[in-house]
Amino acid sequence: MLPDFAGHCSTEIFPVKPYSCLLREFLQYWFLREETVKQIDATSTGARMPRANMNAVLDFEFLLPPLPEQQRIVAILDEAFDGIATAKANAEKNLQNARALFESHLQSVFAQRGDGWVEKRLVEVSKEFGRGKSKHRPRNEPSLYNGPYPFIQTGDISNADHWLTDYTQTYSERGLSQSRLWQKGTICIAIVGATVGETAILDFKSCFPDSVIGIVVNDEFADNEYVEFLLQSFKSLLKEKGKSTARDNINLGTFENQKFPFPVLKRQREIVATFNVLHEETQRLESIYQQKLTALEELKKSLLHQAFSGQL
């Protein structure tokens, strides 16, 4: 950062005041380039809170052009970075709008209920309804892991998008013995911490801990995709119910007592088909805008590399 005021800074910040032969804006851009960041990272020590060795950093060498050349480079980078910042803000706004459009459609469908809709509790449309299991203590016992059985946690649910298609951890036979393997198609609901209210449908058999509720929908009464979309639309309400002074959490009773709107099964499937079309289009737009954001970051890196290798 380039502060335009006098002040103090903590021990986590290392102030650098260059001599008059070096523009501080030029120095800042040099610090921002990818190669410099990697150089600084290489001097870091400490496992828990790594810190750069600033004495080593101050010994770094770089080519110092005359002031007029520094000013020329800074002017080019300033203009380019301003343009990139504007383009990035637009892409981020478009990304948010794409997500908001889908969420808005969810809300409108469940708010504008037609004839034949009834209020039901989730247990009324489920074959199985309960929390996951992870009985062993300590939970991080190594012998429980690295086996053939997927083990998903709240973070995996939060990172999923309607269907949970990937996992980062597995249980061994011993891990499975103190847990439970839920079937493909199970709806998972995170009920603890920052991910409270996040939902996804298992695309594979998996275990999960008691920080997750599993719902195996009774397909005579409900469609599991409909229920997951329904829970997405009620996410804000569920998060609010889970707020506490300590760690946010939702107990099983919250879901057992909460009623949700259900049309007849045929209508549920029609709604799911509509949602899936819109969902795919939303994903397509999100992918486009995310690619633009990635390209803009790469452009910044490229410009900085050119600026400090005599190519600008």
With residue 176 as reference, give the H or E element that holds it: helix 173-177
CA distance 248 to 246: 6
From 1-15, 144-158, 227-241, 255-269, the region with the lowest mean pLDDT:
1-15
Is there a cis peptide before residue 50, judged by omega within 30 degrees of 0? no
Nearest to 92 by CA among 284, 285, 280, 290: 290
Q: Which range among 31-35, 77-81, 110-114, 190-194 has the greatest average pLDDT? A: 77-81
pLDDT (tens digit, 9 = 90+) per residue, 152-211? 999 999 999 999 999 999 999 999 999 999 999 999 999 888 888 899 999 999 999 999
From 49-53, 79-83, 115-119, the region with the lowest mean pLDDT:
49-53
Task: Indicate the pLDDT class of residue 249, thresholds 50, 70 and 90.
Answer: confident
Exposed/middle/buried for residue 66 (C-beta within 10 Å: 0-12, 13-18, 19+): exposed
Provide the 8-state DSSP code for 183: P
Exposed/middle/buried for residue 59 (C-beta within 10 Å: 0-12, 13-18, 19+): exposed
- Does residue 271 or residue 312 have the better pLDDT? 271
CA distance 240 to 253: 15
CB 167 within 8 A of CB 173: no
Residue 310 region by backbone torsions, left for phi larger than 0, else alpha for psi between -120 and 50, else beta: left
Q: Which two structure tokens, joined as six digits, stand for 56?
A: 């080593």
- Does residue 192 or residue 270 have the better pLDDT? 270
Q: Is 147 helix (H, G, I), strand (E, B) or coil?
A: strand
pTM attached to this predicted model: 0.78
For the chain, list the domains and their CATH numbers: 118-261 (3.90.220.20)
